């Protein structure tokens, strides 16, 4: 496994790069709208009259607020969007879950994360937060009802692996940014469809609108949701193998996670509250898309998780190797 501290640094670097890229992208959109409205940049303020670049300023403010929100409050947004609730300790399965998280926090050397449950029969789990001190582990009621204690330990250990490497920071920020890009794209589509933004000048003046500006706007409106989802998928797929290895390390029982993944894979109904923007957070694709069962370039780009059967094969190989070594 890659050195844990190198993974942490890499994840922080990816996260900050994504936030910076999102900030530049949104401001560029605002600037494009101002140029579309007023003409080229030299026309802003021409003739002694200053025209305030409203869209650019609004985009700057929006990107700044969104970046701050995604970093500090992204986990709260994710938890609310998925309908996760606090534990009910009169429920024995919730008590067992809390005790298991405590055990795995000690085994991994991490602070105790907050714990939530989603009232859904589909077995699944995810972790979120900005760092180990502000981390959250969420499981579905279906997972609690279907797992043995060893299997539950393995699933929680997998999520603790994501927490330890700061995967949670990257994946949580990506979730909020993907959702925001989708909202912006939808707003832009509706605005231009109903004529909400019109140029305040004669398009024929000064040669009209530069074709590259129109191309940029068109790409944003039509393709940005696709690009954002590809980013979300690409930052999550290979992380699952590393988290599986961490689970095997923390529990010293890779076969328990293999068994848990088999049960998760056998349940074919999707998680009701899951959406494409949050699918990459979970231990297994909550939408049960067939692409996640495939390998190759297309699957690497467009799927959120590696094939679950390959993950099981690797875990079983670890278990058999350990048993052989012990013998």
User: Any idea what DSSP says for residue 139?
Assistant: E
| Structure token digits, residue 205 | 């003046």
Residue 170 φ then ψ, to 5°: -60, -50
Residue 240 to residue 280: CA distance in whole angstroms: 10
Is 151 an active-site residue? Answer: no
Instruction: Give Cα 313 to chain centroid, integer Å.
Output: 26
Catalytic residue selected from 159, 295, 310, 316: 159
Contact between 113 and 135 under an 8 Å Cβ cutoff? The reply is: yes
| ∠ CA 31-57-69, rounded to 5° | 110
> DSSP string covering 10-28, please?
HHHHHHHHHHHHHHHHHHH
Among 299, 306, 317, which residue's Cα sits nearest to residue 284?
306
Contact between 185 and 163 under an 8 Å Cβ cutoff? The reply is: no
* 149-164 vs 239-251: helix crossing angle, rounded to 10: 120
Instruction: Give Cα 86 to chain centroid, integer Å.
Output: 22
Residue 6 to residue 177: CA distance in whole angstroms: 24
Contact between 270 and 122 under an 8 Å Cβ cutoff? The reply is: yes
Residue 85 φ then ψ, to 5°: -125, 160
**Catalytic residue annotation:** 159
């Amino acid at each position: 496994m890659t050195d844990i501290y190198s993974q942490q640094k890499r994840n922080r670097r990816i996260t900050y790069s994504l936030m910076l890229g999102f900030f530049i992208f949104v401001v560029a959109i605002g600037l494009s709208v101002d140029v579309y409205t007023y003409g080229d940049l030299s026309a802003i303020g021409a003739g002694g009259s200053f025209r305030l670049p409203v869209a650019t300023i609004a985009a700057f403010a929006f990107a700044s607020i969104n970046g701050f929100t995604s970093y500090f409050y992204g986990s709260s947004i994710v938890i609310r969007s998925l309908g996760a609730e606090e534990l009910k300790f009169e429920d024995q399965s919730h008590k067992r879950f809390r005790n298991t998280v405590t055990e795995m926090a000690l085994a991994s050397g991490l602070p105790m994360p907050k714990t939530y449950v989603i009232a859904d029969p589909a077995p699944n789990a995810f972790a979120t937060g900005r760092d180990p001190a502000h981390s959250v582990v969420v499981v579905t009621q279906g997972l609690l009802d279907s797992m043995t204690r060893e299997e539950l330990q393995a699933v929680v250990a997998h999520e603790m692996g994501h927490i330890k490497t700061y995967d949670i920071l990257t994946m949580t920020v990506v979730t909020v940014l993907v959702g925001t890009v989708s909202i912006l794209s939808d707003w832009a589509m509706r605005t231009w469809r109903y004529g909400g933004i019109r140029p305040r000048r004669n398009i024929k003046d000064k040669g009209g609108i530069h074709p590259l500006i129109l191309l940029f706007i068109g790409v944003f409106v039509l393709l940005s949701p696709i690009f954002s989802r590809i980013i979300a998928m690409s930052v999550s797929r290979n992380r699952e193998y590393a988290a599986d290895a961490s689970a095997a390390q923390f529990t010293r029982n890779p076969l328990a996670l293999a068994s848990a993944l088999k049960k998760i894979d056998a349940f074919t109904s999707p998680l009701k509250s899951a959406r494409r923007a949050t699918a990459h957070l979970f231990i297994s694709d909550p939408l049960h898309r067939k692409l996640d069962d495939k390998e190759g370039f297309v699957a690497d780009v467009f799927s959120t998780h590696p094939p679950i059967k390959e993950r099981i094969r690797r875990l079983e190989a670890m278990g058999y190797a350990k048993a052989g070594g012990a013998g």
